[in-house]
Structure 1
Amino acid sequence: MKHFTTALLLLAAQGTMAQSKAKAAKQAAPVTLAPFQRIEVKTTPWHKRPAVIYLPEAAKGERLPLILCMHGKSIAGDDVSKVFRQGVTRQVHEGKKIEAVNPKDGKRYKFIILAPLSDSWGLSPDQVNNVLDDVLKRYPIDSTRIYITGYSAGGWAVAMAVTDARLSKRLAAAVNMSPAAIEEPNMSSFRNTAKANLPTWYFAGAQESFFYDRTKMYIDSTNKYKRGLTRLSVGDHAHCCWEKYFNPAFRENGTSIYEWMLQYKR
């Protein structure tokens, strides 16, 4: 009986160890990038950063709109799989189709989706300009339909982009969620946004006072130079929940962010 009990205990212990190893192996398993590809993009003429890109099927010679995705601070570094935690990249990685019908022309569009990684915070306008110069030479991108979106620190990158003299003229529209504070010179540069006639749809949470206040400041600064370029959606949440808005099923007044972006081109 003693030997039988000992055998049972050994079997139980082995089973527990096997389960623990299986769990550890599962946790350690690398995140698959599909349907994205890992690439490197130039952020300066001499430096490159890792990125992921999604290239949908397209007809020969067809050029597609580009969505440039700016990540939050916790995603920064060299691990490209982190970009799937939030944003447009998360939606595609989970299997959702990021396609939309343009309300203006009634045509359905697919998007090329690009998410470059910053090393510590977010990409500056000069870095984003270099990224665009690089990818426009390599991929079938419609240069009249370049859209930018981001959240938190990525929202900083978007706000910096739309206030930059050169970059604002290259972008067709922007979607900015809970943006962080931008540099003071850029706070007085929303005239560039107005001159470029660049529309931005802002999102913020009613319970994230700092980011909500920043969002209002950016809208007011844009309106100072030109009204009608901004749109604001406020959710009942704190600094979170952006996946709700990036989901292609999300609609406000019957329009998703992807349908909204497509209304604008250069």
Structure 2
Amino acid sequence: MNRLHHAIEAADGKPLLGAALYFHDPIFLEIAAHMGFKVIWIEMEHAAISFEQAADLCRMAAGTGMLTMIRIPDARRESVLKAAECGPDMIDIPMADSPELVAELVRYARFAPLGARGFFSVSRALKYGIVGSVPEEQQKLNEELALLAQIETKEALANIEEIAAIPNVDIFIGPADLAASLGYPGKTNHPKVLEAAEKIVRVARKHGKKIVTACGASDFIHWTRLGIDLLFCTNDIVCLKAGAQLALNSAAEAIEQAGAERVLQTSTRN
């Protein structure tokens, strides 16, 4: 059983909650851990996080007890292998449009006989080689590392049966890109998008897959009703903006209130 499945099993039927990290920010990671988030998403598709930084974030998260997921930019051998050597608990491949692409992820992330991951015994993932048997540790890692195929296009939707049938690969649903691909950009609550999401969940469950997604507050109830296993419900930029906006609004209100009170005091004296 991989580490994601262990954590889901320990959650007693409730979805795990995760936060995404778009900057190399250890402070946000620690705050998220203290607040009770169970998973940290290290973003490498859109954000400028390097593999060196990703490895550091995996190290820090391990110290807090949080699981880590690295979203890589593509299924090239270099992307998969370098992410795997960082020692995350999960690797997610975006735009997983075909079973062939997902098979590439498996090929480069798994050691033989399950794949063709290159031998490198001194990576963080293999505890720097400080183990009794490197081959045994490799097979253990084959079991423990969770792989995710991100379903977020109409092409992936059309191929969901074949993708979900791939052994030991769970499903990540990307609502925003899925909505855009279906012709409804920005409308993740559109009936056609919801219908597609429900189909993905249904097929994934049929094949015994765990289901992950990321969404904003307006979609929380919908996804929790679908019974997903891991919900990424915020990120560092959203938290920064929300905190800054709250401070700005509170200060502006205080200034306005103080100004009104000064006017009232002046008129009373006159």
TM-score range, shorter chain: 0.3 to 0.5
Is the helix fraction higher in 1 or 2?
2
Is the strand fraction higher in 1 or 2?
1
TM-score, normalization by structure 2: 0.34
